[in-house]
Amino acid sequence: MDIDSEVANGVVVYRIAGRIDEVARPKLESAVDSAINGGTPRILFDMRAVTYISSAGLRGILSTAKRAIAAKGGLAIFGLQSAVNEVFETAGIQNLLPIASNEIEARSRLGV
CATH code, domain with 29: 3.30.750.24
What's the domain range around 6? 2-110
* Cβ partners under 8 Å of residue 61, min gap 6: 20, 28, 45, 53, 75, 77, 93, 97
Task: Work out how many domains the chain is built from and give that number.
Answer: 1
pTM equals: 0.94
pLDDT tens track, the chain, 112 positions: 999 999 988 999 999 999 999 999 999 999 999 999 999 999 999 999 999 999 999 999 999 999 999 999 999 999 999 999 999 999 999 999 999 999 999 999 998 8
